[in-house]
Structure 1
Amino acid sequence: MSKSDQLKDEAEFSHSRYWLHLIGWSVLLTVVLIGGILAGVGLKNLLNGGDTSDILFVVIGTPIVAVSGYFCWRWAPDFTMGEPHTARGNRIRWLLVAIVGVGIATAFPIILSDSEQRATDILFSNGPIPFWPAITAITIWAIATPFLILFGRRNSDEHGRAAGDFGMMVGFQVFSYTAPIWWMGWRAGVFPQPDVMILFIVTMIVSNIAILWKRSA
């Protein structure tokens, strides 16, 4: 690619199209995960003597995963904010696939565990979960997360690392601002008991929004 062609490609890059693409793809990924949960829960219940509704879950969830998963893969953003396709950009794409895979691998042992709770309750509540599914999920998360963080840092350019540092700083500020208020308010009887996972999810969402905003700046 000549320098003039490269400049033309950079000039044609649209942040608004990129963000719309990213949002649309995120919605599609959510559909994939919902379909996977439906199929997984239905299959788990069928293996434990389920009923017709569980067959329906599998029948509905499986094609949802197949179709939406195909388009999710085909339409995946390159996550390089308009940079040319390079080996580093491809590694970042595979990093995203690995992150999604780790999330699924962490959640599914819990969802498919032999528990009387509904799948949504066992995954998103603070209720007890069986020992071995919990240990499996903890092991996957504890081993994979540091590796993914290191891999992402090593394959990011200077701008990407700066955006990551900015996002982590913003996320930490959100946590350090919110946690004491919630904790003291709970002790005063004003707020419900603090939930660490709510704080974790909010922190991650804000942090990643800050990273993407910084990369597009």
Structure 2
Amino acid sequence: MTNMPKERRAGPGYLWPVAIIMIAGAVAGAFAGYSDGLAETGGQPLPTWAGPVAALILALAGMALYIRLNREAWAGWSPRKRLYWVTMVASMSLGAGVALTLQVAQGPGDLASNAPLTPATAIIVSAIWVVGMSVASLFYFRAVDDHERHAYYLGSVAGFHAFVIACPVWWVAARASLAPPVDAMALFVLTLAVNLIVYLWFKYR
């Protein structure tokens, strides 16, 4: 019996959205570097919003083109699968919106810094995050199957343990001057990283 090669199923390339986001991030970084160079040479730096806005426009244009080129493939998706990917894109857009708001509000520098913010910025960002994450989570759990839900639960448990182990140790070490003060965003990133790694492992293994 002849082994026939498996026919590859046509569909959208899932790496393209990742590439679009990475390119947009590189554009934002290029704007920031150029602006810093202008400031160092005595020139007028670019507005703080220029880089993030340019990156956002590029990302939106790239995603619009990506969607247009793959609209026929998506037409055959089930409503559940479409809901899943709409939720994923909306969640990424939510994160980008929060990052853009923070970058414009605080000016150039580390996005995860503890630089002061105005009360209005803090309220806006908090409202976007709370409402957006709540709605996205609701639709996400309506769209996923049992396998992905199980992977998500395991990732969440791993992230929780990463936090409850690291946070008290860091807190005690900081009080003894053995470590810098506890950084909430560092713990946030650690929790998300562990969550994501475990989730991806159990989803795709």
Say whether the fold is shared (TM-score over 0.5). yes
Other-structure match for 2:122: 134
User: CA offset at residue 134 of structure 1?
Assistant: 1.3
Moved over 3 A (4+): 24-28, 33-40, 57-65
Whole-Å separation in 2 of the counterparts to 1:212 and 1:162: 11
User: CA offset at residue 66 of structure 1?
Assistant: 2.4
| Cα distance per residue 1:172-211 (max 9 Å; x no partner) | 1111111111111111111111101110011112101211
Say if 1:71 and 1:154 are closer, same or farther in 2 by CA, change over 3 A.
closer
User: What pairs up with 1:8-157 in 2 under 5 angstroms?
Assistant: 22=15, 25-26=17-18, 28-35=20-27, 53-54=45-46, 58=50, 62=54, 65-66=57-58, 70=62, 74=66, 85-113=77-105, 118-121=107-110, 123-157=111-145
Other-structure match for 2:194: 206
Whole-Å separation in 2 of the counterparts to 1:120 and 1:90: 37
Identity %: 23
Equivalent residue for 2:160, pick from 148, 168, 172: 172
Whole-Å separation in 1 of the counterparts to 2:30 and 2:197: 28
Say if 1:67 and 1:162 are closer, same or farther in 2 by CA, change over 3 A.
closer
| Cα distance per residue 1:123-175 (max 9 Å; x no partner) | 32112111111111011111111111111111111111101101101111111
Say if 1:63 and 1:138 are closer, same or farther in 2 by CA, change over 3 A.
closer
User: What pairs up with 1:158-169 in 2 under 5 angstroms?
Assistant: 158-169=146-157
Q: Where do 5+ consecutive residues of structure 2 fail to align? A: 1-5, 35-42, 68-75
- Matched residue SS, 1:192: coil
User: CA offset at residue 104 of structure 1?
Assistant: 2.1
User: CA offset at residue 53 of structure 1?
Assistant: 4.1
Say if 1:150 and 1:64 are closer, same or farther in 2 by CA, change over 3 A.
closer
TM-score by length of 1: 0.68
TM-score by length of 2: 0.71
Whole-Å separation in 2 of the counterparts to 1:152 and 1:165: 13
- 8 Å CA contact 2:53–2:100 kept in 1: the answer is no
Whole-Å separation in 2 of the counterparts to 1:196 and 1:59: 26
Q: Where do 5+ consecutive residues of structure 1 fail to align? A: 1-7, 43-50, 76-83
Whole-Å separation in 2 of the counterparts to 1:63 and 1:196: 27
Other-structure match for 1:187: 175
Say if 1:39 and 1:88 are closer, same or farther in 2 by CA, change over 3 A.
farther
Whole-Å separation in 2 of the counterparts to 1:100 and 1:183: 31
